[in-house]
């Protein structure tokens, strides 16, 4: 296995040339393009990693998965899916178009509008209280580690996140958002700015491979039904308008972030995290996507065969 | 297993009251609403069925799966996916909107535009020649049975299928369609009108559960890679704008048709077909969907746990 | 003429039953539905009025005309139309859809996005400074009258104007907005809340009938070219997605507001203002529209005959 | 006046370099780019022309104006506007998007969908009968001249007009089209292929400047109300998504065609036709548009001053 990972990292790293680090957040655009890390945590307790697996990066949209888990646990799926749908949108992650046509109801919790709405459901009136609650959940699935945010990335998000504010205002207009706009949007920016490594991320995803139970601590993190819901959403909507391509090439529930990370879940088997900051035009790590495709093929992980 | 199926049919049949038979094709609208059939073929050769499993119905959009298999085998995936994308569309199955915005390139082969394009790739210049080729493929995956079309349904499709003609013309305009418009559209109408039973359909889908090999004849129907592609497409796009809901509730690659049938594939395990003519607003069998959800739960078939 | 106006008011008032006062701003929804006022100022100095011509109402979107005049005068048309187009949008006044598709460039200055952009071009860094500048312009075309805002309407706009904030944020995202989002949006809300009567409004529009010159003071308010531009925009976009209907039935450059006012300009002849708070589904005064149609027919004002 | 026209033609001709002849119809793409003709018919019986005023070109979309006149006369405006709206669409002339969103109801008779619908309302069951009726109307407004179609252009339209067929099919699907699809579409292609000169076209438009009466023959061609309707539609929708620009720069009801012609109506004054085959990106003659702008300025024709 270790040998497979080493080989994949060596081969996939070259693909980074086809991509570019996220440019819309200045603090992300300076990342070195040729970084590539992989980390694997299996359900039966083994861990493997290769390349830049201990290099920190910001979670960005991958946080949507954990915020959803946290809110599903708190509010239940009935309350959550009364406000947001769970269908692929066919649109880029940032789009306002469907949100207007569909009266402020986001298509799914994996696009930005959906994630801001889910964030508005976190307990606490202020952005700080919401974020603190989320962080407690996150640290619960990554025992023994203290997480923090990258202040420069957060500052960038805060300053440049006008499109996300527009989504928040539009949902507020339709009476869908469940907190003050700025609180939901700011708490969302903070989540996006949390720093993790591949090792952290693969560890954090382990409960999603384990039917909602963390196999290392033995603790049930979320209900089995919520785990199924989250994996189904990642499988159909996790890479926005590249979700079909991901299903085709990797065949696993996955979630990418413009920080360069991708989390992929092989239910019943393992949790995998990759990191490579050069992105394709749809916002996913080029080399990371490539590495996951190779890994899925080598280990026959695709759910669709 | 037989007992499970009987129980499911008894329970799910009642849900049909929430739906209505397809009204846009007059010949379909007269179907009895309370019919429900289920048929299961496992990879290791066992078969089970319950309810109206031997009642014939027209394949409608389920034919898209087999036509794609036939064309992938003939032309290869490079040629096919040069012309059509493989992403969820987020739109209803009949929509022209994205097709215009995206210059005649359909989002995936599971929506009508995509299926008409795939049909235009069948060999033969005339609609009859294309259809004959498709039927040979179909009879190859259902050995020993002679299939036919329902002439009243075909006549209805032909007369009322103006929206599909519009899709064909628009793709012809953009130079994407690979045959005369009327030939592609007519061959598509014929495919939709092929009559099968649940038993037929579950048998026909078996190669998709078997990595492209028909486990009964031992014959390789399509390449393993094409099988993976088709299952991934069914998983993300098979129920159009209810694909997310199907992933959530059933968790398998699936394809519905407005004739009332749904085919679901549990890779490595089994092929399942259901039939119930009363449809939900998005065009899928209400009772069939319900029955598949129960079956998936009972047998723990969801790929996402 | 006086007799014509009286007759029109008597006849048109009844049409108000088909409409309803604006409900999205609470402070507007309480207006009495059967009010109707008309006021006419001719280029050669005569004035006529009938009905509730001296009843104050808020200008709402009619302010877009005067803000555009003020900004064209200050910045010139090249600078303004580098940022905003001058084509009908075909969409409702509040829509974000085209704004996203067209990278934050509003279709015209008569829809909300366009007006917020124009407002961002007013001099002054703060919302208060921008508004003060606009008010000086407004009082210049209504000599001898002190205008104020309706504080309850302004408070309503401020609290409920999330959709307008979304437009502002989206334009800020695309780098199109020329001030801080909240300053542009707030100054826009203030403009909308300025209180006028029909008499005020008809007097204020007189320079648009006079090729940019106020015929009473003899003062040139704006350049002839800017006057032509504004009238052309009102003629093609002034009633949003009812502009075609207005061209058909009234045949004059016009601008409606959800406060119930409509301003219509007969170039070279007269300026007409009507007020009736019950609105049609597209946001224009039902009785006011009716009154303008009758007046246009009686006086043969339509430009299209 | 003659001198003005000569000067304008000399000056405007150079602008043709910025444009290109229509390429989507092969037979049009071979036109010489530097041709420019102007023809003016005044209500009081004078005529002026300059440049290539007697060069034949195909009417293309300008035919929409005359077909609408013919059908309004036959069916009345209530019947016509029950099927088609009269609002600017904000979309290109060929678009299907709004047609789908609005259930097959075209936004106005000046876009292709609207014109095909209007054509379906011509009397006669076949395309030939419909076209013959239209031609009788056309020859009625151009007494003493025998019109014909350009067979190569018609053949091109017929072969390449798949987008128009798509529009027809979609309207047929929604039950809006009033004849067989192919008959409406084919009769529309024939109308588009009718050959005229600037002199013909300006003469043909004279009744639109004369409140529906042909000032030369004294014959009432259409009712005054229909004349107003047509001019209002030309003023707001005649140049599709450049209608606002035309209102701004020319300020008259106008209609362009991809054959290179533009017809402009100055109500109560004159009818003007220009011809220049090099088109701007929105499908209007570059030099013709320029010439009309100069003429409008010289003669102060804009309705908006």
Residue C163, chain A, CB below 8 Å: the answer is: yes
Instruction: For residues D270 and D45, give the distance between their C-alpha atoms in angstroms, rounded to a whole number.
Output: 9
- Selecting among B240, B255, B274, B284, the annotated active-site residue is B240
User: What is the average pLDDT across D85-91?
Assistant: 85
When computed from its CA atoms, the radius of gyration of chain D, rounded to whole angstroms, is 18
D63 catalytically annotated? no
Sequence ranges of chain D with CATH classification 3.40.710.10: 2-60+196-219+234-298, 63-192
Q: Which residues of B fall within a CB distance of 8 Å from D24?
A: none
Residue D100, chain C, CB below 8 Å: the answer is: no
pLDDT band at A160 (very low <50, low <70, confident <90, very high): confident
Q: Select the residue of C85, C87, C267 nearest D305 (Cβ to Cβ).
A: C267
Q: Which residues of B fall within a CB distance of 8 Å from A268?
A: 305
Q: Select the residue of C95, C162, C172 nearest A173 (Cβ to Cβ).
A: C162
Instruction: Answer whether B170 sits within 8 Å of D162, measured CB to CB.
Output: yes
Instruction: Quickly tell me which residue has 């709004």 as its tokens.
Output: D98
Residue A16 has pLDDT above 90, yes or no: no
In degrees to the nearest 10, what's the CA dihedral of C12, C15, C17, C23? -90
Quick one: pLDDT at residue D157?
86
Quick one: pLDDT at residue D160?
78
Residue A68 has pLDDT above 90, yes or no: yes
pLDDT band at B96 (very low <50, low <70, confident <90, very high): confident
Q: Which residues contact A57 (CB under 8 A, 6 or more apart)?
A: A31, A195, A196, A197, A259, A260, A261, A275, A277
- Selecting among B39, B61, B95, B296, the annotated active-site residue is B61
Alpha helices in C2-82 (DSSP H): 2-13, 63-81
Residue count of chain D, please give it: 305
Alpha helices in chain D (DSSP H): 2-13, 63-75, 77-81, 97-101, 112-120, 127-140, 151-160, 162-173, 181-192, 198-204, 206-209, 224-237, 243-249, 286-298
Residue B179, chain D, CB below 8 Å: the answer is: no
Q: Give the model confidence (pLDDT) of D225-247 as tens digits.
A: 999 999 999 999 999 889 999 99
Work out the angle at residue D59's Cα, subtended by the Cα atoms of residues D53 and D62, and round it to the nearest 5 degrees. Answer: 105
Sequence ranges of chain B with CATH classification 3.40.710.10: 2-60+196-298, 67-192
Q: Select the residue of B88, B227, B304 nearest A88 (Cβ to Cβ).
A: B88
Quick one: pLDDT at residue C22?
83
User: Which overall architecture, per CATH, does domain D2-60+196-219+234-298 show?
Assistant: 3-Layer(aba) Sandwich (3.40)
Quick one: pLDDT at residue B12?
95
User: What is the average pLDDT across B82-108?
Assistant: 85
- Residue D75 to residues A10, D131, D187, Cα–Cα distance (Å): 75, 16, 18
Q: Write the DSSP symbol of residue B249.
A: H
Instruction: Answer whether A181 sits within 8 Å of C170, measured CB to CB.
Output: no
Residue B279 phi, psi (nearest 5) = -105, 155
Residue B193 phi, psi (nearest 5) = -95, 5
Residue D170, chain B, CB below 8 Å: the answer is: yes
Element (H, E) at B234: helix B224-237
**Exposure string for D233-260, b = 16+ CB within 10 A, e = fewer:** bbbbbbbbbbbbbbbbbbbbbbbbbbbb
Name the nearest CA neighbour of C131 among C58, C186, C172. C186
pLDDT band at B102 (very low <50, low <70, confident <90, very high): confident
Q: Residue C91 CB: number of other CB atoms within 10 A? A: 19
Class of B67-192 in CATH: alpha beta
pLDDT band at B98 (very low <50, low <70, confident <90, very high): confident
Name the nearest CA neighbour of D152 among D285, D56, D53, D37. D56
Q: Which residues of C fall within a CB distance of 8 Å from D250?
A: none
B64 catalytically annotated? yes
Residue D101, chain B, CB below 8 Å: the answer is: yes
Q: Give the model confidence (pLDDT) of D105-138 as tens digits.
A: 999 999 999 999 999 999 999 999 999 999 999 9
Residue C89, chain D, CB below 8 Å: the answer is: yes
D240 catalytically annotated? yes
Name the nearest CA neighbour of D193 among D288, D61, D68. D61
Instruction: Answer whether D267 sits within 8 Å of C90, measured CB to CB.
Output: no
Alpha helices in A82-160 (DSSP H): 97-101, 112-120, 127-140, 151-160
CB pairs below 8 Å between B and D: how many? 53
User: What is the average pLDDT across B272-282?
Assistant: 95
Quick one: pLDDT at residue B245?
95
What is the number of alpha carbons within 13 Å of residue B33 lying toward its C-beta? Answer: 14
3-state secondary structure at position B92:
coil
Q: Select the residue of A95, A172, A173 nearest C100 (Cβ to Cβ).
A: A95
3-state secondary structure at position C261:
strand
Please say whether the beta carbons of B39 and B201 come within 8 A.
yes
Q: Give the model confidence (pLDDT) of B38-68 as tens digits.
A: 999 999 999 999 999 999 999 999 999 999 9
Quick one: pLDDT at residue C94?
74
Class of C62-192 in CATH: alpha beta
Neighbours of chain A (3+ CB pairs under 8 A): B, C
Quick one: pLDDT at residue C266?
98
D63-192 maps to CATH 3.40.710.10: yes
Residue A77, chain B, CB below 8 Å: the answer is: no
User: What is the average pLDDT across D155-159?
Assistant: 86
- Residue D221 to residues A134, D208, D209, D211, D224, Cα–Cα distance (Å): 74, 9, 12, 9, 9
Element (H, E) at D273: strand D270-275
User: Nearest residue on chain A to B209, judged by CA atoms?
Assistant: A305
Query: For all residues of chain D together, what is the average pLDDT?
Result: 94
pLDDT band at A30 (very low <50, low <70, confident <90, very high): confident
Residue D188, chain B, CB below 8 Å: the answer is: no
Q: What are the structure tokens assigned to D279, written together?
A: 């088109």
The packing angle between helices A181-192 and A63-81, to 10°, is 140
Q: Select the residue of A96, A100, A172 nearest C162 (Cβ to Cβ).
A: A172
Quick one: pLDDT at residue A103?
86
Q: Select the residue of B228, B267, B303 nearest A267 (Cβ to Cβ).
A: B303
pLDDT band at D303 (very low <50, low <70, confident <90, very high): very high
Range of weakest confidence among A84-88, B271-275, C194-198, D201-205: A84-88
D302 catalytically annotated? no
The packing angle between helices D181-192 and D63-75, to 10°, is 130
B2-60+196-298 maps to CATH 3.40.1160.10: no
Q: Give the model confidence (pLDDT) of C215-234 as tens digits.
A: 999 999 999 999 999 999 99
pLDDT band at C30 (very low <50, low <70, confident <90, very high): confident
Q: Give the model confidence (pLDDT) of B142-201 as tens digits.
A: 999 999 999 999 998 888 799 999 999 999 999 999 999 999 999 999 999 999 999 999
Instruction: Quickly tell me which residue has 């049975």 as its tokens.
Output: B145
Residue B97, chain D, CB below 8 Å: the answer is: yes
Sequence ranges of chain A with CATH classification 3.40.710.10: 2-60+196-298, 63-192
Q: What percentage of residues in chain B have a pLDDT greater than 90?
A: 84
Residue D90 has pLDDT above 80, yes or no: no
Q: Give the model confidence (pLDDT) of A173-225 as tens digits.
A: 999 999 999 999 999 999 999 999 999 999 999 999 999 999 999 999 999 99
Name the nearest CA neighbour of C273 among C197, C222, C211. C197
Residue D8 has pLDDT above 90, yes or no: yes
Range of weakest confidence among A242-246, A259-263, D8-12, D14-18: D14-18
Kindly list the catalytic residues of C.
61, 64, 188, 240, 258
Residue A65, chain B, CB below 8 Å: the answer is: no
Q: Which residues of A fall within a CB distance of 8 Å from B98?
A: 90
Instruction: Answer whether B95 sits within 8 Å of D97, measured CB to CB.
Output: no
Q: Which residues contact A13 (CB under 8 A, 6 or more apart)?
A: A34, A36, A51, A276, A287
Range of weakest confidence among B14-28, D63-77, D126-140: B14-28
Minimum distance, in Å, between the CA of residue D192 and any CA atom of chain B: 18
Residue C107, chain D, CB below 8 Å: the answer is: yes
């Amino acid at each position: 296995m270790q040998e497979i990972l080493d080989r994949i990292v060596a081969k996939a790293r070259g693909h980074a040339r086809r991509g570019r680090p996220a440019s819309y957040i200045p603090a992300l655009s300076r990342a070195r393009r040729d970084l590539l890390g992989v980390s694997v945590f299996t359900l039966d307790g083994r861990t493997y990693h290769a390349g830049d697996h201990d290099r920190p990066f910001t979670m960005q949209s991958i946080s949507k998965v954990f915020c959803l888990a946290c809110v599903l646990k708190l509010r239940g799926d009935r309350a959550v899916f009364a406000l947001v749908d769970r269908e692929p949108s066919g649109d880029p992650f940032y789009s306002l178009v469907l949100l207007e046509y569909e009266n402020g109801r986001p298509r799914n919790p994996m696009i930005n509008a959906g994630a801001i709405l889910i964030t508005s459901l976190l307990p606490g009136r202020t952005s700080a209280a919401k974020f603190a609650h989320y962080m407690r959940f996150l640290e619960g699935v990554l025992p023994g580690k203290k997480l923090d945010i990258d202040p420069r990335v957060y500052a960038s998000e805060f300053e440049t996140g006008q499109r996300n504010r527009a989504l928040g205002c539009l949902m507020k207009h339709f009476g869908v958002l469940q907190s003050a706009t700025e609180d939901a949007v700011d708490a969302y920016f903070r989540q996006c700015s949390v720093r993790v490594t591949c090792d952290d991320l693969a560890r954090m995803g382990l409960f999603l491979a384990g039917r909602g139970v963390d196999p290392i601590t033995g603790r049930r993190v979320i209900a089995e039904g919520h785990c199924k819901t989250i994996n189904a959403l990642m499988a159909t909507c996790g890479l926005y308008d590249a979700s079909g391509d991901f299903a085709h090439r990797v065949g696993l529930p996955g979630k990418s972030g413009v920080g360069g990370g991708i989390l992929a879940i092989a239910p019943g088997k393992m949790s995998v995290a990759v990191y490579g900051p050069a992105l394709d035009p749809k916002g996913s790590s080029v080399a990371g996507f490539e590495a996951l495709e190779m890994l899925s093929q080598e280990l026959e992980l695709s759910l669709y065969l």
